[in-house]
Structures are given as C-alpha cells and as structure tokens.
Amino acid sequence: MAKLNFGGVEEEVVTREEFPLEKAREVLSTETIAVIGYGVQGPGQSLNMRDNGFNVIVGQRKGGKSWDKAVADGWVPGETLFDIEEALAKGTIICYLLSDAAQIELWPTVKKHLTAGKSLYFSHGFGVTYKDQTGIVPPADVDVYLVAPKGSGTSLRRLFVEGKGLNSSFAVFQDATGKAREKCIAMGIGVGSGYLFETDFYREVTSDLTGERGTLMGAIQGIFAAQYEVLRSNGHTPSEAFNETVEELTQSLMPLVAENGMDWMYANCSTTAQRGALDWWKPFRDATKPVFEQLYNSVKSGEQATISITRNSQPDYRVKLEAELAELRESEMWQAGTTVRGLRPERN
C-alpha cells in the first residue's frame, strides 16, 4: 500500500500500479463471481468485470425491466444469466447488489447458498452494520468484504469505458479463508476502481448516508431551491434564476473545481466574485452546520436506516417515489432547466 499525505494526514491507499489487473485476475482465477441484482451498480460492476476478463455471471429475477436490460447488455440466459437462486448456487463470490431494503427479504435464500469458503461481497456497509434491523448476519466460515464505488453505477461504467476510474472504498468484515483482503482488493480493481482506500463497514455506511443526504444530493438541491426562490421572488426570470443557480455551476465552475480545487476556481473568477464568495462561504457554513450535525446523529443512531428500510418496504413505495421525483422534475426550476439544457450548443 502506498502511504500518501492527504492534507497533512498520512493514509494508505491501494493504487492500480501496485495491484495491477493481471494480479487481480490471478487472485480470482478460480472464482465464479455472481452479481445478484441488475439495477444501478449491478450493470456497472458486472460489465466492467466481464470486460476485464473475470468469470462473471448475473442473477436477476426473471422477467421485468432489469432482466431485459441484462439480456440487452449481452448476458445470455442459461449461460451467464440466471434466476437468483441458480446464480447463488453457481457463484463462489456472491455480490449482493440488490437495493439495501430488498437485501433483507432475500437474505434467508442467500444465506442458504453461503457454504464454507465462499465470499459475500457488498457495495455498502448497510446490511451488516444495521444487522439489528436487517437480520443480515453472515455465517462465520465465509469471507465478507465490500467495495463501494464512490459514485453512481452509471458513472462507474461510463468512466471505465473512457479509460478512467472512480475511486472506491474497501473493507473486510470477516476473513475466514485468510485471503479475504486480497480477494477484496482484486474485486475493487476488477469493477473498475481508480484507486482504493480502506475503511470499515460502519465508517463506510455512516459517511455514505451522510454524503448522499448532504452535499452530494440533499443539501445541494435544498440550496439550489432556496436561492432560486429568492431570485424569483425578487423579479428575476426563470432562465436567469436557473442560469445563476445551476447551469453556470455545472457547466463552468464545478468542472474547474474538479480539475484543480476551489481556490483555483475562485482564482479564475472576477475579483468581485472572489471578494463576495470569500465573505459569504463562512455564513453559509455556519447556517448549515447544525443541519449536518442533526443529519449525522440521525445516521449514527440508525434512524436513517430505519426510515430507508420501512419506507422502501411499503408496497406502494415505487408509486410514491415516482410522485416525489415528479415533484422535483415538474418544479419550475427543473422545468426551466430542461429548456436551458436544450439550448446547449452541443445538443443541437
């Protein structure tokens, strides 16, 4: 592992140079990797592993959208695509990539197929960490580890195809064979990770749940909405409000942040903008920090897991979810966004 300095703190990371694809293939050469679930992570991880030359099969409920997508992606029924129980029986590394709530329901079936020496692989620390709520307690004689790509399965695949990679965290929860760590890292390389940083199941799930509820998804929409509403109520048009809230951020400024950091983005804006942004970021931090504290405590106590599980297991959850997504989509701000995006020169 390479020791690197992250802002003054030394951490160890696994890079592709020190754990090349060849080595990953060697470590997993006798394994049958069964990817269970073909939603968002399932396709990204299984296709990357297939293209990387691993022995991969997919297990998915027959019929339905995900099954058809798997067939369209080149998985062959009866050869590399099976119903879930068949894939569980054939697999020696079981990649449990159903939604976290669905993992609870299928657990008794999965457990039955976890014979000694097999591996149970997750992409989230959820099921194991919140075992009091999920009932997921792996048998003692299997390896249990996770690789959690830090991004959507869609990006994992897109970046892989472009020859890039997302970074992932990895963690070993249980090492029954003495080889769990090596297998875990090999899986991380196989699914297309850029570099791998080590964590444990608890830290993975608590940071992940905080991030997606916070700056990655929840907080950002909240801040967008607040600014948009203030601009609109002060007489600005939808296009002006959208451009100054979202479009400029995603098209111009965030790519600069991604490239070289916040100070560099600031340095490439006007002195007027810099002055204002430097004066205002701390008040925004101070205003939102209590909400982040509240969020973290709610994650830590298990309350967010409870909400996720109970809401996701309601029979009409999909319908309600669609209505909530429609509320976002049909809001004036995101409707204005559809029109603004349509005007991007490259879309014509």
Ligand X SMILES: NC(=O)C1=CN([C@@H]2O[C@H](COP(=O)(O)OP(=O)(O)OC[C@H]3O[C@@H](n4cnc5c(N)ncnc54)[C@H](O)[C@@H]3O)[C@@H](O)[C@H]2O)C=CC1
- The tokens for 45 are 């991880």
Q: CB–CB of 45/191 below 8 Å?
A: yes
Rounded to 10 deg, the angle between the 271-300 and 201-213 helix axes is: 130
Query: Which H or E element spans position 167?
Result: strand 166-174
Annotate each residue in 191-210 with x if it binds Mg ion (CB under 5 A) or - if it does not, as one string: -----------------x--
Q: What angle do CA 150, 21, 171 make, to 5 degrees?
A: 40
Asked whether position 152 contacts ligand X2X by CB under 6 A, the answer is yes
Asked whether position 152 contacts ligand X by CB under 6 A, the answer is yes
Q: What angle do CA 304, 305, 309 make, to 5 degrees?
A: 120
99 assigned to a ligand binding site: no
CA nearest neighbour of 121 among 34, 12, 189, 30: 34
Nearer to ligand X2X, 125 or 337 (CB): 125
CB of 197 to Mg ion, least distance (A): 13
- The tokens for 28 are 């997993």
Nearer to ligand X, 91 or 153 (CB): 153
Give the helix ranges, DSSP H, for the chain.
21-27, 41-51, 64-72, 84-90, 100-113, 126-129, 131-134, 153-161, 180-190, 201-213, 218-233, 238-242, 248, 254-260, 262-267, 271-300, 303-312, 317-329, 332-342
Residue of 59, 91, 138, 153 interacting with ligand X (CB under 6 A): 153
Residues between 33 and 62 with contacts to ligand X, criterion CB under 6 A: 37-42, 60-61
Q: Has 124 been annotated as catalytic? A: yes
324 assigned to a ligand binding site: no
Nearer to Mg ion, 198 or 208 (CB): 208
Annotate each residue in 92-131 with x if it binds ligand X2X (CB under 6 A) or - if it does not, as one string: ----------------------------------------
Residue of 39, 53, 139, 151 interacting with ligand X2X (CB under 6 A): 151
Q: Which does 213 bind (CB under 5 to 8 A by kind): Mg ion, ligand X, ligand X2X, none?
A: none
CB of 159 to ligand X, least distance (A): 13
Asked whether position 91 contacts ligand X by CB under 6 A, the answer is no
Nearer to ligand X2X, 161 or 216 (CB): 216
CB of 291 to Mg ion, least distance (A): 19
Q: CB–CB of 196/13 below 8 Å?
A: yes
Q: CB–CB of 194/167 below 8 Å?
A: yes
Number of residues that bind ligand X2X (CB under 6 A): 6
Asked whether position 208 contacts ligand X2X by CB under 6 A, the answer is yes
Q: What is the dihedral of CA 320, 326, 328, 333, to 10 degrees?
A: -160
CA nearest neighbour of 19 among 183, 173, 166, 201: 183
244 assigned to a ligand binding site: yes
The site for Mg ion (CB under 5 A) is made up of 208, 212
Could you tell me which residues are annotated as the binding site for Mg(2+)?
A: 208, 212, 244, 248
The site for ligand X2X (CB under 6 A) is made up of 150-152, 208, 212, 216
The site for ligand X (CB under 6 A) is made up of 37-42, 60-61, 66, 97-100, 102, 105-106, 123-124, 126, 148-149, 152-153
